[in-house]
Amino acid sequence: MKHNALTRRAAASQLAPFAVFPSRLAAVARHNARIVKQSASWLVRSREHVHYTYDLEPLNLEHLAWFVATVTGSRADAVRGYLAELQEDAELRRVLAGGLARSSRGATVDRVIRYGRRLGWYAFVRALRPEFVVETGTNRGFGSAVIAAALLRNGRGRLATVDFDDRSGELIAPPYDQVIEHVVGDSVEFLAGPVARRQPIDLLIVDSSHTPENDRAELDAATPLLAPEAVVLATKAYCWRVLPCWAEEQQREFLHFDEKPLDHWYRGVGIGASFPARVRA
């Protein structure tokens, strides 16, 4: 009797994958239908074909606040305040929208301002109150303007940003250009040159995102230029091990924030952060 029950249970467990197949198929179909719907809506409403912009999901913003708070040793409610401050900054939105309207690449940009991970950069600058920020990879200057807005709110600090594309920096405009030095050139050569070496770097943002080798070369070139308490952020830490490896060699900490774009098919990127080591037990 007992033997029969065991045999029936074993047979049922072998059939289980087939029995649950319809519900598995339905779960995958629901998931893929949501992606197809988001993709179709994006194809109609957006003109972007590279450097996608997007807002972040509400819970992702809360995670971002805690991430910045943890890395900078700030209170989460203070960081939430910084995130709100950028979203409510009408002047910056006006300047960025004007720049996008005049853009030479106007046919392939959206005029809506969506900050994504740059909200985190803004909060880092507000929380750390750096004297000197370096950004590799200026592109249009979207991040540069955001960083400059935070520096102007702090009432101190300057940004140096580099890009080898001579069309880069088109969104760098008054009043934000007062605190930005935009250099056209190779990022590694820039880090070996006089602008980057003028004073210790308090915040380095590695966003040239070209190859892992280039990210590593930028980190190596910047290492002797960093202030002792410097924070280093890198965009491609979601897919490359460069920043965590460098952090370990330098006996620093590493954490990663993963972006969750709102109503977008794109998986998003993120913010890898390396910061001074805490005392470990």
Ligand X SMILES: C[S@@+](CC[C@H](N)C(=O)[O-])C[C@H]1O[C@@H](n2cnc3c(N)ncnc32)[C@H](O)[C@@H]1O
When binding is defined by CB under 6 A, the residue of 209, 238, 241, 255 that contacts ligand X is 209
Identity of the residue, 209 or 250, whose beta carbon is nearer to ligand X in the bound complex = 209
Instruction: Give the sign of the dihedral formed by CA 22, CA 23, CA 26, CA 27.
Output: negative
Strands (DSSP E) contained in 27-171 are 132-136, 158-163
Strands (DSSP E) found in the chain:
132-136, 158-163, 180-184, 201-206, 226-234, 252-258, 270-276
Which residue lies nearer to ligand X by CB, 116 or 253? 116
Q: Is 170 in the site for ligand X (CB under 6 A)?
A: no
Which string of x and - marks every residue 129-168 that binds ligand X (by CB under 6 A)?
------x-x-xx-xx------------------xxxx--x
User: Strand 226-234's sheet: what is its strand order?
Assistant: 180-184, 158-163, 132-136, 201-206, 226-234, 270-276, 252-258
DSSP conformational letter for 56: B
Among 72, 74, 214, 274, binds ligand X (CB under 6 A): 214
Q: Applying CB under 6 A, which part among 1-9, 33-41, 122-130, 202-210 lies near ligand X?
A: 202-210
Nearer to ligand X, 132 or 253 (CB): 132
CB-wise, 210 or 241, nearer to ligand X? 210
- Which of 79/206 has CB closer to ligand X? 206
- What type of residue sits at position 14? Q
**Measured distance between the N- and C-terminal CA atoms of the chain, rounded to whole angstroms:** 58
Contacts of ligand X in 233-262 (CB under 6 A): none
Residue 74 near ligand X by CB under 6 A: no
- The greatest distance separating any two alpha carbons of the chain, rounded to the nearest whole angstrom, comes to 87
Residue closer to ligand X (CB basis): 40 or 192: 192
Neighbours of 51 (CB within 10 A): 11
Provide the token pair at 19.
């029995």
Shortest-Cβ-distance residue relative to ligand X: 143
Residues touching ligand X: how many (CB under 6 A)? 19
Under 8 Å between Cβ of 135 and 144: yes
Question: What does each C-alpha distance from 266 to 24, 32, 94, 107, 162 come to in angstroms?
Answer: 24, 13, 26, 21, 26
DSSP state of 277: P
Least separation in angstroms between residue 140's CB and ligand X is 6
**Residue 207 in the binding site for ligand X (CB under 6 A):** yes
What residues between 182 and 201 interact with ligand X by CB under 6 A?
186-187
215 binds ligand X (CB under 6 A): no
Instruction: Name the site residues for ligand X (rule: CB under 6 A).
Output: 118, 135, 137, 139-140, 142-143, 162-165, 168, 186-187, 207-210, 214
